[in-house]
Amino acid sequence: MRKPRNYDEDLKALTAKAKQLKARKQSQLGELVEATGADALTIEELAGALLSMAAITDPTRREGWRKRGAAFFSGERTEQATGRGTGDNAQSAAPHDQRPPSPGPATGAA
């Protein structure tokens, strides 16, 4: 004979797990802001930069950002050191990230 399932208890456990995951995500985002040096920006500047980035749908720029982020997490922080301290870094970094991937495939395809 099967034991009846307590759906209320399961729901409470899932809700608690979701809260825990959300709290961990928020903590990790805060740590990321600090690790990248973005904590030197005002909250308004950081929010504006994130909103601008979220509105961009160009896959080439997004891929450049992805590669730069992957390099950051793998420990290759060469571009990060040069980018810190300049207020226009978020704007100027994207074209730099975009250029190297573009000539590489274009030269290989041509």
The structural domains of the chain, with segments of one domain joined by +, span: 59-105
User: How many residues can be counted in the chain?
Assistant: 110
Contacts made by residues 41-45, CB under 8 angstroms, sequence distance 24+: 41/87, 45/87
Contact 67, 101 (CB under 8 A): yes
Q: What is the pLDDT along the chain (110 residues), one digit of tens a residue?
A: 788 889 999 999 999 999 999 999 999 999 999 999 999 999 999 999 999 999 999 999 999 999 999 999 998 765 444 444 444 444 444 433 433 443 444 444 43
What pLDDT sits at residue 86? 40
Distance, in Å, from the CA atom of 94 to the CA atom of 89, rounded to the nearest integer, reads: 9
Residue 26 is encoded by which pair of tokens?
Answer: 């928020």
Q: Would you put residue 84 in left (φ > 0), alpha (ψ -120 to 50) or beta?
A: beta
Identify the pLDDT of residue 81. Answer: 47
Residue 78 is predicted with a pLDDT of 55
Q: What is the pTM of this model?
A: 0.57
